[in-house]
Amino acid sequence: MIVGFDYGSSNCAVGTMVEGQNVRMLELEAGRHYLPSTLYAQHNSLVVDFVANQLANTPHAEHYRHSRAGLLNGISAIRRDLDLTSNETGLQIGSAAIEEYIDFPEEGYFVKSPKSFFGAIGLKPQQIAFFEDIASAMIIQIKQRAERQLGQNITHTVIGRPVNFQAIGGEQSNQQAIDILTCAAKRAGFKEVEFLFEPLAAGIDYESRLTQDQKVLVVDIGGGTSDCSFVQMGPNYRARSNREQDFLSHTGKRLGGNDLDIAMAYHNFMPLCGLGSTLKSGLPMPNQLYWQACKINDLHLQTEFYGQSNRRELQAMQRDVNEPDKLARLLKIQQNKLGHQVVRQGELCKIALSSDDEYLAQLSFVESGLTTMITQAQLQDAVSDSLKQICSLAQDAISSAQTQPDVIYLTGGSAQSPLLKAALQQSLGNIPMLNGDNFGSVTAGLTKWASKIFS
């Protein structure tokens, strides 16, 4: 069985071809085709335990248990401490993971958008191994859910990938991320795995509806990355199984919807926690503390923020600030690992302000009754730098292609933003813009490409 697999920064989705021409999106959660890219484990070693159990009686089993022996030796004691029965994994993905994290933020291990970390430079071998385990745990469960629906084994897949997984690191970072995903997919039981740029996948879905040839600039604003692909499309191109000569240019960087959410949280919520205030000495509060709290897609900053030494520093700093009540809120976020919930409120603001003039953000999980009103103007100020960078990516793609596009095809979770469309229009001129399925275009294109190359 052949599928397209969008292992996205925000959501995961799987598609299969029906009757040779229509894409069927498979249900990955109750009533939903899109599963949030999140994982929660009551203890991080339970991720390793889950993968080891899933790999039992496979060619991967012996090597995996040997390589993870140190962690697996302590699993029995961890399971006893957590009162887990033999049937309980202590592991959740998708919406269930988010619910567990909200209920028990300080007790377990929670990761959102793990793909955002796979290309990070400077990862130690044990960190790469753990990201392989996280990806394996998620892909194994998603594949199993898809197979239950289809009633047969899935063996071949095309997985979407950004043009660049990281802003720095280049091809070395990209290869590291591809290796992690390939390892996870093979562990999950895929016999054949190929990768396709996500904006190209979205473009392939758009192309299937074209009646005449066009030069298309695909702008894909995902959760973790923004990618642009300039592609020649249409009836005279879509039958080709090798499209390399049709792709005129690609640009991309690690900047996506998550970064807009982070910017919203930093600029609009962190002043409630002391950002912009002063120490009694008159010096300003260090901005780095607040970036650490919000940068949920930066492994190193999150490790620093939630470390014991940072907690002690914040506690000591309370004596030296002019507004200790505000710093107490930041300390609450640090002690209870609430950064993801803070950024989630930034995301809700972004979504609401796409259509509404203002939004009342609810921060009672930080302090009882704490709210703040956010306006469209504040949204624009918070994300303006990110929008400029996205426009630069589009300009670079057009410059590299050395021709003008006939149309700009927008896809991805943040592509519906009126601010993004206005910024692109101001930057690129009055080129016609079309919105695709903001969440399904990539999956549909991956599925069509998988059917083409594997059938």
- What is the distance between the alpha carbons of residues 266 and 379, in angstroms, rounded to a whole number? 11
- What is the distance between the alpha carbons of residues 160 and 144, in angstroms, rounded to a whole number? 19
Tokens matching residue 192: 């054949």
CB atoms within 10 A of CB 118: 26
Residue-by-residue pLDDT tens, the chain, 455 positions = 999 999 998 899 999 999 877 899 999 998 899 999 999 999 999 999 999 999 999 999 999 999 999 999 999 999 999 999 999 999 999 999 999 988 887 788 999 889 989 998 889 999 999 999 999 999 999 999 999 999 999 999 999 998 888 766 688 999 999 999 999 999 999 999 999 988 888 888 888 889 999 999 999 898 888 989 899 999 999 888 777 788 899 898 889 888 999 999 999 999 999 999 999 999 999 999 999 999 988 878 888 999 999 999 999 999 999 999 999 999 999 999 999 999 999 999 999 998 899 999 999 999 999 999 999 999 999 999 999 999 999 999 999 999 999 999 998 878 878 899 999 999 999 999 998 776 788 999 999 999 999 98
- What is the distance between the alpha carbons of residues 24 and 31, in angstroms, rounded to a whole number? 14
Per-residue model confidence (pLDDT) at position 334? 95
Per-residue model confidence (pLDDT) at position 230? 94
Cα separation values, 149 from 29, 154, 439, Å: 11, 11, 21
Exposed / middle / buried, residue 165 (Cβ in 10 Å: 0-12, 13-18, 19+) = buried
Per-residue model confidence (pLDDT) at position 416? 78
What is the CATH architecture assignment of 2-190?
2-Layer Sandwich (3.30)
Q: Which residues is 279 bridged to in the sheet? A: 321
- What is the distance between the alpha carbons of residues 214 and 251, in angstroms, rounded to a whole number? 19
Say yes or no: do domains 2-190 and 212-256+384-436 share a fold. yes
- Per domain, the residue ranges of the chain are 2-190, 212-256+384-436, 258-382
Backbone angles phi, psi at 4, to 5 degrees: -100, 135
Residue 408 contacts by C-beta under 8 Å, 6 or more apart in sequence? 216, 217, 219, 394, 424, 428, 431, 432, 433, 434
* 287-294 vs 339-352: helix crossing angle, rounded to 10: 80
Q: In terms of DSSP bridges, do strands 35-36 and 91-93 run parallel, antiparallel, or are they unpaired?
A: unpaired
Short-list 189, 271, 259, 195, CA closest to 224: 259
Tokens matching residue 140: 């194994």
Q: What is the 3-state secondary structure (H, E, C) of 273-306?
A: HCCCCEECCCCECCHHHHHHHHCCCCHHHHHHHC
- What is the distance between the alpha carbons of residues 191 and 182, in angstroms, rounded to a whole number? 10
- The correct answer on CATH 3.30.420.40 for the domain covering 212-256+384-436 is yes
Whether 227 contacts 162, CB under 8 Å: yes
Tokens matching residue 327: 């710093």
- What is the distance between the alpha carbons of residues 83 and 61, in angstroms, rounded to a whole number? 26
Short-list 37, 441, 10, CA closest to 223: 10
Cα separation values, 229 from 22, 251, 426, Å: 24, 7, 20
